[in-house]
Amino acid sequence: MMLRSVLLFACLLCCISGFCQDPLYPGKIPNSKNVTNEEEIKTSPGGDSLAYKVSIPTIQAFLPSKDKANGTAVIIFPGGGYHTLVLKREGSDMARSFNKLGVAAFVVKYRIPDDRTMDDKSIGPLQDAQQAIKTVRENAEKWNIDPQKIGVMGFSAGGHLAATVGTHFEEFYIDNKLNTSLKPDFMLLVYPVISFTDSFGHTGSRKNLIGTDQNKIRLFSNEYHISKTTPPAFLIHAGTDVVVPVANSIVFYQNLQKFGVSGELHVYSKGEHGFLTYPAFDEWFGRCTTWMKSKELIR
């Protein structure tokens, strides 16, 4: 009864902020402590919606009109350094852009790693990402989706999460009684955090996800987990990014090449983390959609 009340409160909170989402899990949230929900959603100076202290994960479906739907789906993980979630610019805005192309989109408000709310905070976001893929794939017929055209998209730390679910799909971190494939069919990684290594990894995301556990650095440095079965990937980054070095995208792309996995990498000569001033949205998203057309994911 308490869980249901908390879930209803979370949904109400989201609706007030324009993000009415459904609970990600149909029942008990795995790896979750029974604590008070302290989630906050704030508006940034730029007008974005930022979620903090997320302990109850949700998913919001954005479905294209039936006459436009082409069967492809993208599950979106907003960024925020595993400290917050940029829900609008890296979430609902992206979903609506995909809808215009006939692509179904699902924005995931995944849990923010926190020892207060989880038994093992390092796997909480990955559990939510796997559950999102499971949910979309098992409901593919209902949502008019091709179960073999379900991809993931992530920004910054959300890109790390997308890359993690794309390289760790052989191990289930959630209950999966139907043995549903948790492997995304493609990855769209936008200025992603890839590595947790000292040389070029993003130490802020690392600290928030794994704390001081040095044994988990390699586990969550996704460049080490690419194999010939890794799904194809599109990566885009600014070479002048001082928050998440472009080396993150470069090393991931190089290792895709090493294992013969299809990949495409675009690096801009200028621009900042978040693409706030450059490149323009139509520019980089146009390159993304061109790649998707080459993969016959959109017409």
Q: Which residue has the higher pLDDT, 12 or 82?
A: 82
Question: Per-residue pLDDT tens for 220-262?
Answer: 999 999 999 999 999 999 999 999 999 999 999 999 999 999 9
pLDDT value, residue 20: 61
Core vs surface per residue 148-181: b (16+ CB within 10 A) or e: ebbbbbbbbbbbbbbbbbbbbbeeebbeeeeebe
pLDDT value, residue 46: 77
- Beta carbons within 10 angstroms of residue 78's beta carbon: 29
Question: Per-residue pLDDT tens for 101-142?
Answer: 999 999 999 999 999 999 999 999 999 999 999 999 999 999
Question: Per-residue pLDDT tens for 259-268?
Answer: 999 999 999 9
3-state class (DSSP) for residue 226 = coil
CA 132/CA 26 separation, integer angstroms: 12
CA 6/CA 26 separation, integer angstroms: 13
What are the tokens at 125? 């976001």
CA 26/CA 23 separation, integer angstroms: 7
Given a contact cutoff of 8 angstroms between Cβ atoms, the answer to whether 292 and 264 are in contact is: no
